[in-house]
Amino acid sequence: MVLLTLLLDHIAITMRKRLDMRGIAGTLPTANCCATNLSRIARKQYLDISKGNAKEQIMTNHSISPTGEQFVIPEQSEYSDEFKRVTSLVEAARSEGKEIVVVMGVGFVGAVMAAIIADTVDKQSGKSGKFVIGCQRPSVRSYWKIPLLNRGVSPVKAEDPEVDPMIARCVLEKKTLIGTYNSDCLKLADCVVVDVQCDYTKKDLGNMRTGEAEMGALEATIKTIGEKVPSDCLTLIETTVAPGTTEFVAWPIMKKAFAERGIETEPLLAHSFERVMPGREYVASIRDFWRVCSGCNSQARQRVEKFLREVLNTEGFPLTVMDRPIESETTKIVENSYRATILAFLDEWSLFAERNGVDLIKVIKAIKVRPTHSNIIFPGPGIGGYCLPKDGGLGYWAYKHILGFDDDIFKISTTAIDINDTRGLHVATLTNDALESMGRQVDGATVLLCGASYREDVADTRYSGSEIVVRKLTEMGAEMRVHDPYLEQWPELEMQDTYPAPGHSWSRFFQNQDGLVNIRVQSDLAEALAGAQAIILAVPHAPYLELDPEKIVEWAGGPLAVIDCFGILDDDRIRRYIELGCEVKALGRGHIQRIKEEVKKQIKS
């Protein structure tokens, strides 16, 4: 009986937390109540615990946030009360003249887009003009975002100081933003913004052509929208998609759903891609940046143009309205393929520079003096980020599988992605060469990678070139450590069995990867360097730009191999490392050998 009481206490506390986190009032059974009066949820918890299945239950019935907080996934019986809660709030907002906007997907883009819309004020009245519902599927992987959002806590981590206070303000003060897991909220919408991922999965490293677009989640979302939204609701796809998706995949799905509901009018479907950039200008890259849009028909085109002018700064950053959604979709794919191609173009010249005594960093600086060439950029160990590594693949896939062509017109865009994806392998080669020059072997060597993010001064590891470096060196037998001043964890390594999804980790391209789940990103550089035989400066984070060679050698406990991936070291620091007995290698910097010879001559003289 004591055990039963303790178990019922546990259940009551769990249920109270669940109701608190959802903002729902309710009465709970006390510990000494009869078991038959427990809710079906509580009885299930009791049976699971009594059978010793608590651990399995947590795995399947809880969603865990990045900070480790657990949230109970709602039961189907709870959906009705949740919809009543949302409906009540919508009715109040509509009585105040607010437009009801549902954002499907509150991830990297959706969470901030939802807040930007919720923060909008009517230009004439100065009052809030939108009431926003962020909707997230209640999966084990993602449900935790909803209770966090309802607390006024951002479900995405950002360096931009605007993000956290804007979400808190809209949720807690303005009361213009809520989260829900119940997609029935679509029935209440005047406008739906779709921010559901459309990824491109590569089956082989360095051969993008064998991959395919993952359309399932987007198609399922569009189908749900078609089944639930009012006939006059605008649906705006903000996701970067394969060209042709809006007109030839999404629109037919919605038309079919409308027909099954007896709705004779065409769905109002539009496309306008985001250009979000992580970092300190995160919000501005959505709100204060140029947009492109289009609609599947004239009414949708007019509606999306009106909506975007209301929620974005189109006065400072004019809106471009295209004739067809495929033109809007292609705009995003071409601009990112162009960027990826410029970066890949420099890979061959990087190798040329290494082999012929040329410093490519100086060459690029000399070229950038010309205004027409000011956007040339050194690629580092790989381009990374969510968009550039995949968007060309969406175009290649769409040409064959959506638009129906069977010839092969893509040569440059596909090759550029393959080059960028594999550039990090050369860093592993340079590390091995530097260690061998010091009479050491990479197998068993302790190697510190500085910079796990895909670009400088952000906490974003998606498709980072650094991941390829770590995985290749691990395969070669190196003992890897990681330091990054902006990161607390590296999910691609620490959760590689399930992140970004089961079977999708880059670990599948390499051997001996199991131990990487134990990698922990370190914040103390001196501690991370202790006993290291090599340091790889992979990302030009601000704290790395002024590192003192004497300190690095001191913290490491002696001379070590130094590999510069991004032109971080100037010639004076390169020279000093060499004087201290280090072996220095770098991407695209063949002039290092000349500096090394100069140091040898000075020592002899």
Listed residues 331, 352, 385: the one ending a domain: 331
Q: At what angle do helices 571-579 and 592-604 cross, to 10 degrees?
A: 50
Q: How confident is the model at residue 60 (pLDDT cuts 50, 70, 90)?
A: low
State whether residue 156 is helix, strand or coil: coil
Q: Are 208 and 305 contained in the same domain?
A: yes
Residues 26-36, mean pLDDT to the nearest whole number? 35
8 located within any domain: no
Q: Are 460 and 312 contained in the same domain?
A: no
Residues 134-163, mean pLDDT to the nearest whole number? 93
pLDDT of residue 495 exceeding 60: yes
pLDDT of residue 58 exceeding 50: no
Query: Comparing C-alpha atoms, which of 193, 292, 282, 279 is closest to residue 233?
Result: 193
Residues 101-130, mean pLDDT to the nearest whole number? 93
Q: Which domain holds residue 426?
A: 414-604
Peptide bond before residue 500 is cis, with ω within 30 degrees of 0: yes
pLDDT of residue 544 exceeding 70: yes
Q: Are 109 and 235 contained in the same domain?
A: yes
DSSP state of 270: E
Residue that wins the pLDDT comparison between 304 and 108: 304
The contacts of residue 582 (CB under 8 Å, 6+ apart) are: 549, 553, 559, 560, 561, 562
Of 53-57, 178-182, 186-190, the one with minimum mean pLDDT is 53-57
Residues 379-388, mean pLDDT to the nearest whole number? 89
Listed residues 279, 297, 331: the one ending a domain: 331
**What count of residues does the chain have?**
605
Q: What was the pLDDT predicted at 388?
A: 87
49 located within any domain: no
Listed residues 272, 298, 331: the one ending a domain: 331
Q: What was the pLDDT predicted at 531?
A: 97
Give, in order, the Cα–Cα distances in Å from 413 to each of 153, 386, 409, 422, 496: 39, 16, 10, 15, 28
pLDDT of residue 471 exceeding 70: yes
54 located within any domain: no
Tens digits of residue pLDDT in 206-262: 999 999 999 999 999 999 999 999 999 999 999 999 999 999 999 999 999 999 999
564 located within any domain: yes
Q: What was the pLDDT predicted at 508?
A: 96
Tens digits of residue pLDDT in 574-597: 999 999 999 999 999 999 999 999
Q: Are 190 and 326 contained in the same domain?
A: yes
pLDDT of residue 270 exceeding 50: yes
- The CATH number of whichever domain residue 506 belongs to comes to 3.40.50.720
Residue where the block lists tokens 């729902």: 24
492 located within any domain: yes
26 located within any domain: no
Residues 511-520, mean pLDDT to the nearest whole number? 96
Do the Cβ atoms of 499 and 505 come closer than 8 Å?
yes
Q: Are 305 and 440 contained in the same domain?
A: no
Q: Are 309 and 424 contained in the same domain?
A: no
Q: How confident is the model at residue 276 (pLDDT cuts 50, 70, 90)?
A: confident
Q: Are 136 and 229 contained in the same domain?
A: yes
d(CA 352, CA 355): 5
Do the Cβ atoms of 205 and 421 come closer than 8 Å?
yes
Q: Are 295 and 444 contained in the same domain?
A: no
pLDDT of residue 41 exceeding 90: no
Q: What was the pLDDT predicted at 10?
A: 43
State whether residue 401 is helix, strand or coil: helix
Residues above pLDDT 90, as percent of the chain: 82
Residue that wins the pLDDT comparison between 377 and 304: 304
Q: 509-520 as b/e, with b when 16 or more CB fall inside 10 Å?
A: bbeebeebeebe
pLDDT of residue 452 exceeding 80: yes
Residue 283 bridge partners (DSSP): none
Stated pTM of the model? 0.86
Residues 556-570, mean pLDDT to the nearest whole number? 98
Q: Cα Rg for the chain, rounded, in angstroms?
A: 27
Q: Are 149 and 286 contained in the same domain?
A: yes
Q: What was the pLDDT predicted at 125?
A: 85
Q: Are 91 and 216 contained in the same domain?
A: yes
Q: Are 322 and 421 contained in the same domain?
A: no
Query: In the sheet where 479-483 sits, what is the strand order?
Result: 521-522, 479-483, 446-450, 534-537, 561-564, 583-586
Phi, psi (rounded to 5 degrees) for 246: -65, -45
378 located within any domain: no
236 located within any domain: yes
Residues above pLDDT 70, as percent of the chain: 90
pLDDT of residue 383 exceeding 80: yes
pLDDT of residue 412 exceeding 80: yes
pLDDT of residue 40 exceeding 70: no
> How many domains does the chain contain in total?
2
Would the CA dihedral through 283, 285, 289, 294 be positive or negative? negative
Q: Are 570 and 431 contained in the same domain?
A: yes
Residues 302-320, mean pLDDT to the nearest whole number? 96
